[in-house]
Structure 1
Amino acid sequence: MALNLDEYAEQRASHTNITLWAAEVLRAQIAAGKLLPGTKLSEQQLASSLNISRNTLREAFTVLSGEGVVSRYPNRGVFVASPGADAVRRIYQVRRMLEPSAALWGPELDLERLDRVITAAREAKSLGSVAEMAAANQAFHEAVIAMSGSSQLQDLMSRVLAEMRLVFYAMRSEPDFHSHYVEQNARIVELLRAGKRKKAAETLRGYLDAAEAELLEHLAADGH
């Protein structure tokens, strides 16, 4: 469970709350697919990797538990969560409020960033890489929320997407779940490029409804 923390070193140096920094690092690792659902989180290894005390790590676990991305079990330890149907409904309730609004009203439209994401997604699709398609999909939705120009909304979305990555893991055996959203994302970018922001927002909302329904159907079939 050794973590590469080079990319977080500068962030730690400027962070006034090490507990929240540790939670951010673990959340980022989960959102990136580095820590998978069901993984037991070793206090000893993680405290050493993060160069923090176990008490600080436990406080970070409390933060993440409140967000639903880790689960604590008495006498067993802390595990990366495996979200079920209730979590999916909660996640998509938040996403339907945030993402279409950012697409419709966000003042910081960054088409170059969106284009890079679409290029990466298409490359992943051509290679048949489910993991890279999932990563590109996460990046797309991060870019949509970034249009809001709000750091608070981007922080909220980072928490939502960390939990979302855990939900996506349940679809690892269904590559079409990710592949058919590649061009749907591209369609939303083209609508934004054409200045059709209302249509982009409506398309995005419908797409979120469809994704939620597909996930719930899959979880029900698996007995979740």
Structure 2
Amino acid sequence: MPGPTPSAVEGLTADRHLLARTSTADRVADVLRTHIAEGTLAPGTRLSEASIATILGISRNTLREAFRLLIQERLLTYEMNRGVAVRELTVRDVTDAYKARLALEAAGLRNAAAAEPRLLAAVHEAVAQGERAAAREEWSAVATADLNFHRALARLAGSDRIDEFMRRLLAELRPAFHVMPSPREFHGPYLRRNRVIADLLAAGDLPAAERELTDYLDNAEAQITDRMREVRDAGGPR
């Protein structure tokens, strides 16, 4: 398991201002969650309580509570005598996450005909966001837009609970994307498929949109888990 790298932990410095007014555990957890999702804090990275508390200007008690929240969300792990680390996903984790994703996103598509216009607009804006990022060759931003697209699909269900489940699920899953050797080759084709789903949604062909979504998620799961097995067989994490 890799130790903390100065650049990874010091990258939190820019977010210290977010905690200036109310240094709560929820806000601290949100900062750490974002860095985990974006890959700044990579899977397996140990999180030094002393370093992070100092960098963010918070008490250790507040940080421990934030750690507890993120452990519950399956983003961090705790081991006796080893401390807290960013969780490393297994093939089983990814397979389970994609089953949950399909259930939540399909629920959104099935409710799309009754969804509020602003929720439908968010789906199309997420696609456009990804296309703009791809034109700039900003593949991390493409990945973010992709997750925004899928969260927007789940939001069509009109359920705050589904939205919250989806937010946590995508945050947990995003580190798995970093196993792919080429972000452009991985995300590029799915960006185009996002457009297909959005167009089917706009046309009102919800059964076709759900079929495309199912195939899409099956393909993405297979790509990620196949790559994880390759890494594992080469001596990397399981």
User: Which TM-score band (shorter chain)?
Assistant: 0.7 to 0.9
In the alignment of these two chains, the number of paired residues is 219
Q: Which residue of 1 aligns with 2:6?
A: none
SS at match of 2:84: strand
Residues 22-79 of structure 1 deviation map (CA, whole Å, 9 limit, x = unaligned): 3333223322444322332221233345554312322321221232211223222212
Structure 2 partner of 1:126 = 135
SS of residue matched to 2:77: strand
Residue of structure 2 in register with 1:37 after alignment: 43
**1:76 maps to what in 2?**
82
Kindly tell me: are residues 204 and 6 of structure 1, through their superposed partners in 2, closer, same or farther at Cα, counting changes over 3 Å?
Answer: farther
Q: Which residue of 2 aligns with 1:4?
A: 15
Counterpart position of 1:158: 167
Q: d(CA) in 1 for partners of 2:167 and 2:34?
A: 8
Consecutive unaligned residues of structure 1, counting only runs of 5 or more, are none
Give the equivalent residue in structure 2 for 1:93: 99
Partner Cα distance (2:55, 2:206) in 1 = 44
Q: Secondary structure at the match of 1:75?
A: coil
| TM-score normalised per structure 2 | 0.81
Cα distance in structure 1, aligned partners of 2:46 and 2:90: 18
Q: Give the match's secondary structure for 1:25.
A: helix
CA distance in 1, matches of 2:75, 2:184: 23
Question: For the aligned residues, what is the CA RMSD?
Answer: 2.3
Q: Distance in 1 between matches of 2:190 and 2:92?
A: 23
1:27 and 2:38 aligned: no
Question: Residue 156 of structure 2 is aligned with which of 147, 153, 161?
Answer: 147
1:108 to 113, 116, 124: 116
TM-score (norm 1): 0.85
What is the deviation of 1:150? 1.9
**Aligned-pair identity (%):** 34
1:206 partnered with 2:236: no
Q: Which runs of 5+ in 2 are unaligned?
A: 1-8, 233-237
Higher relative contact order (CA 8 A, sep 6+): 1
